[in-house]
Structure 1
């Protein structure tokens, strides 16, 4: 044990020396709170080894911060007392291409005795990944990141009034090449920065809403996927600033328009073999894959409180907007909340599933951990997928949806939080402290926006993510 600790200290010193030699002066250590905000402590590069050995102090109260920086409380967390230690993951230290002199690392949180903090979302995601591995399952996950880019207001990048009209730097049509031409330098710099940082970009394209784009990155293990999406967002934000632009990842940038999603893609393997390409199995799904997806589908009402955690999320979740607002699944159906993607016939690794409801207000570590927990519960309880749905459930009458067993997912954060509160599988997986902290933040967000109109909710949350 002592030998391994000595090796880690030496590795940290060597890494710090390398960063300093490369001109890195500061390292940003990030965690994501229960409101989905990436919070940070920074250390000088030469102090990275000390941070890796002893951690960096922080208050447990961050677990009950809301998106507007107010502070609530749960049964276990809140108030000025206590201290935690942030430990950077040295394997993920990344020199930032769009922030000269800076590097980044995600951090895990421990108490002063070196025990895992029970509300650490990143460690929750790791625990669920390890639980899946113990069941013989390997998961690969990845996110699609959507954002809206506008010109920064004159004077100061953050100086904008709630009612100030947004100044879009591109005016081309949805999915149009015109937008790429108008912002070709910017988009080139986004992809170049991501590539330099080791992020494998699969595709980038204009999206539906004004000024909206989407980038898809390669899948990896669940914790890495959550790390990657944090790095992707902050890289896009940094490149935007350098171009005099602002990037919003908020679920609803303008009320009444199509919002930003952050769809979660996942695939399952056992012994290196895809469980999405089983010959003669219904929809090509091996029994465990079918039960895993059935578990996710059944838990979606509760999962919304984690993947769609803001009142602004529910401005985006509208029928017939490809957001997946009905609790159903379908094969290549973009209106289903859970979409099965078959992949090319000649691709042995093809085939995966997509959770379409989630957005970038979500803490990605909570999202991947909870989805794994729901899927494993589906296997444990031998859940069966119902028949897939075709077409848009939103155009069906109420009676036809009832006949098919299609129900609306929660239409408000209150409804979703109520379902999370009653979810025994997610409570067990998350633990009392994390589960309670998440619910406290959700209830505080509900109360804060209870009397707000849609436009006010969108304006208040537009630049929080």
Structure 2
């Protein structure tokens, strides 16, 4: 519990949140209400605490036509209602120009509705919520649990990707204190981490977030992105989740560890089975592998994402699975073999620039499709796929992820699974947005940058992500 803040963690009802927000000891004056645009970028506005009860009852109206991928100007009115289960308090006190003026601010995520009271179909958070409800009602699972590995770079500013160190994997050099401060501030907000270290590339770092149910994990990823960037700014640095800012170095991924739970038990676990994976776990994994090419654009949504997904930089290129194989698309971690709670799969293709709500919803849908159709998991591949011959890859049935956003968008446009998961409106708007991005890129970047990070990407994505 952070100093000066009373009883704010783990609240779930409107009454509990109102009591905590109004408690004079907490000195909370404003509540920031957050949501995302179609690309998963954070959007927010703040209301005084005095408006919170009304916001719970009636929502707060806003102009949806001004948000990327939402509605047209002639149908722009939308309403957002804060979710009381997401209430957290920022772990610092703001001070005005007048030193006597200080305040604290809380943050909540909101659900977006149309004026007629129906859920707004373009709300990314609702897409995940709807997919989780289907998981429960049609498949009988209670939880989809996830843990995200958040990789990022730290640079001096948002203009030029100059590494602040020349370290490598587990290097104990500069800016470890930035990672620690991020985690300690998150802990004061009730968000736990499990691990932090320097990553392979120069200036690259990783913080792993503790396993949560999927909706909480998605919200936490959004808070993490905000807090990580803010802490870096406090140190006079710039932190970016751009997938591939530096040529010749590893890019940043967001590996997602995941499992399904039923009746308090891990449905992925079977003690005597190979890899301790239950039949449902194998079907689920087969579903993601089966749909890997058509869902790639959701996990890797930027032109720059595909500069990361190339051979030789520990990013998955080939669609296969294994246990110790870090060149594979999906890995079965072996840190605690035979332990039910630790049994999971690790999906390695997403990057931290994705829309986390759409990414989790899509991977869950693909896995559930594998369970529904009892898809058979191919044989594991433990050999380094980068070193396999084309004929050997073909014999093993190993396919390749899309080589660029153009190919990925063509595939996702035809995907019935993604269309059903996202809904017709969001699916169409996502594709339209990506086609515009591709058009802008092709008009500004020569072919020689097919696999190289271009100056155009640095200018566009580095300040954005």
Aligned ranges 1:434-453 → 2 under 5 Å: 434-451=426-443, 452=445, 453=449
Name the count of aligned residue pairs.
Answer: 435
- Match of residue 154 from structure 2: 149
* 1:437, distance to aligned residue in structure 2 (A): 1.7
For residues 314 and 190 of structure 1, do their structure 2 counterparts lie closer, same or farther at Cα, with a shift above 3 Å needed? same
Aligned ranges 1:234-383 → 2 under 5 Å: 234-345=226-337, 347-383=339-375
- For structure 2, the 5+ residue unaligned runs are 1-11, 95-103
State the alpha-carbon separation in 1 of the partners of residues 333 and 44 from structure 2.
36
Is the CA contact 1:98–1:235 (under 8 Å) kept in the aligned structure 2?
no
Deviations 1:293-331 (A, max 9, x none): 111111111221111000010111111322111111112
Aligned ranges 1:4-83 → 2 under 5 Å: 10-18=15-23, 21-61=25-65, 64-65=68-69, 77-79=71-73, 81-83=75-77
Q: Which has the larger displacement, 189-198 or 442-451?
A: 442-451
> Which of 182, 187, 193 in structure 1 is aligned with 2:179?
187
User: 2:412 aligns to what SS in structure 1?
Assistant: helix
Q: Does 1:118 align with 2:112?
A: no
For residues 98 and 333 of structure 1, do their structure 2 counterparts lie closer, same or farther at Cα, with a shift above 3 Å needed? farther
Greater relative contact order (CA < 8 Å, ≥ 6 in sequence): 1
State the alpha-carbon separation in 1 of the partners of residues 114 and 19 from structure 2.
26
State the alpha-carbon separation in 2 of the partners of residues 304 and 62 from structure 1.
28
Q: Which has the larger displacement, 195-204 or 28-37?
A: 28-37
For residues 320 and 99 of structure 1, do their structure 2 counterparts lie closer, same or farther at Cα, with a shift above 3 Å needed? farther
* 1:63, distance to aligned residue in structure 2 (A): 5.7
State the alpha-carbon separation in 1 of the partners of residues 416 and 370 from structure 2.
13
State the alpha-carbon separation in 1 of the partners of residues 234 and 29 from structure 2.
19
User: 2:207 aligns to what SS in structure 1?
Assistant: strand
Is the CA contact 1:294–1:385 (under 8 Å) kept in the aligned structure 2?
yes
Is the CA contact 1:9–1:53 (under 8 Å) kept in the aligned structure 2?
no
Deviations 1:261-301 (A, max 9, x none): 11111012232222333133343221111111111111111
For residues 63 and 403 of structure 1, do their structure 2 counterparts lie closer, same or farther at Cα, with a shift above 3 Å needed? farther
CA RMSD of aligned residues (A): 2.1
* 1:362, distance to aligned residue in structure 2 (A): 0.7
State the alpha-carbon separation in 2 of the partners of residues 346 and 88 from structure 1.
41
Deviations 1:214-240 (A, max 9, x none): 000111111111011111111111111
- Match of residue 85 from structure 1: 79
* 1:11, distance to aligned residue in structure 2 (A): 4.3
For residues 278 and 13 of structure 1, do their structure 2 counterparts lie closer, same or farther at Cα, with a shift above 3 Å needed? closer
* 1:136, distance to aligned residue in structure 2 (A): 1.6
User: 1:53 aligns to what SS in structure 2?
Assistant: helix
Instruction: Give the TM-score of the pair, scaled to structure 1.
Output: 0.88
- For structure 1, the 5+ residue unaligned runs are 1-6, 66-72, 153-159
Is the CA contact 2:14–2:84 (under 8 Å) kept in the aligned structure 1?
no
- Match of residue 133 from structure 2: 130
State the alpha-carbon separation in 1 of the partners of residues 169 and 282 from structure 2.
35
State the alpha-carbon separation in 2 of the partners of residues 184 and 255 from structure 1.
24
State the alpha-carbon separation in 2 of the partners of residues 255 and 384 from structure 1.
38
- Match of residue 383 from structure 2: 391
Is the CA contact 1:16–1:49 (under 8 Å) kept in the aligned structure 2?
no
State the alpha-carbon separation in 1 of the partners of residues 334 and 177 from structure 2.
34
Is the CA contact 2:20–2:26 (under 8 Å) kept in the aligned structure 1?
no
State the alpha-carbon separation in 1 of the partners of residues 297 and 268 from structure 2.
28
Structure 1 runs of 4+ with >6 Å offset = none
- Match of residue 155 from structure 1: none
For residues 405 and 8 of structure 1, do their structure 2 counterparts lie closer, same or farther at Cα, with a shift above 3 Å needed? closer
* 1:59, distance to aligned residue in structure 2 (A): 2.9
Instruction: Give the TM-score of the pair, scaled to structure 2.
Output: 0.88
State the alpha-carbon separation in 2 of the partners of residues 42 and 151 from structure 1.
30
